Amino acid sequence: MPGLTIERRGAVAILVIENGGRRNCLTAEMWQQLGPILDSLEADETVMVLVVTGAGDDFSAGADIRDLDRILNAPTGAEGGWITAAENALACFSKPTIAAIDGYCVGGGWELAGACDIRIAASRAVFGVTPSRIGIVYPLSGITRLVAIAGPAVAKLLLFSGDLVSASEAQGFGMVSSVVEADAVLPEALALAVHLASRSQLSIRAMKEIVDAIVSGDDAEAIAARWQTEVAVSDEPAIGAAAFVDKKRPEFTWRVPFPRD
């Protein structure tokens, strides 16, 4: 049964995209599922990091072509319909996100991967942004994010040609952080997720929001000031300094006191 499922490994949640036999393409219902799932994970203080992956040998081949008109023209109030709504929900998720990518990562699949903070790819993974193959215009949010990640020249090359590129090429374009063997993709992503979960969540959440504001042109100065105020009243610096002096692993305790804007 096609769908999105959540698995837990301690403080790490794993979001699995599954549509067996169809390279995990996302149906209209799957796109609609993502927002509520992320809302639930956002509210769960025991979840510190999210890993996004696909079932089997593929991340996702994107939107189900049979549902494409309904997906892109859904009455969400945003150009790009449910794809844009899902992509933005993932991009705005306040906790660190890691995409573990194997096989096909194409079209809407790339939009979801691109909305994650960090991307780890299998050496056999292939990437593509394919609107020119089917005569549509890629959602503005997806174009904007691709330009921010890979630059305008690479974005134009991928958008114009619709060609698939290898994981090594994608890494050269800045689209993925690292390339590993296929059987190491999820273990590497989970190991990194566990590592991030051990760090100060105040520091990570603050820096994620500040970096995103710098990229988007939002008021990063105001956001940084708000977070500095939070640091000033938290125990995180004292916990970190004491652990450093004692040569122990810090046990950070901070949890989110306010929603991300």
Determine the topology of domain 3-197 in CATH.
2-enoyl-CoA Hydratase; Chain A, domain 1 (3.90.226)
Q: What are phi and psi for residue 48, nearest 5 degrees?
A: -110, -25
> Measuring CA to CA, which residue among 81, 59, 88, 99 is closest to residue 188?
99
CB 87 within 8 A of CB 68: no
Q: Could you read off the pLDDT tens digit of each residue along the chain, which spans 261 residues?
A: 899 999 999 999 999 999 998 999 999 999 999 999 999 999 999 999 999 999 999 999 999 988 887 887 766 656 678 888 999 999 999 999 999 999 999 999 999 999 999 999 999 999 999 999 999 888 899 999 999 999 999 999 999 999 999 999 999 999 999 999 999 999 999 999 999 999 999 999 999 999 999 999 999 999 999 999 999 999 988 899 998 999 888 889 887 754 555
Within the chain, all domains assigned CATH 3.90.226.10 are found at: 3-197
Q: Per the confidence metrics, is the pTM higher than 0.85?
A: yes
- Per DSSP bridges, beta strands 118-122 and 104-106 are unpaired
* DSSP helix, strand, coil percent of the chain (3-state; round to 5): 50, 15, 35
Residue 141 half-sphere exposure, CB side, CA atoms within 13 Å? 22
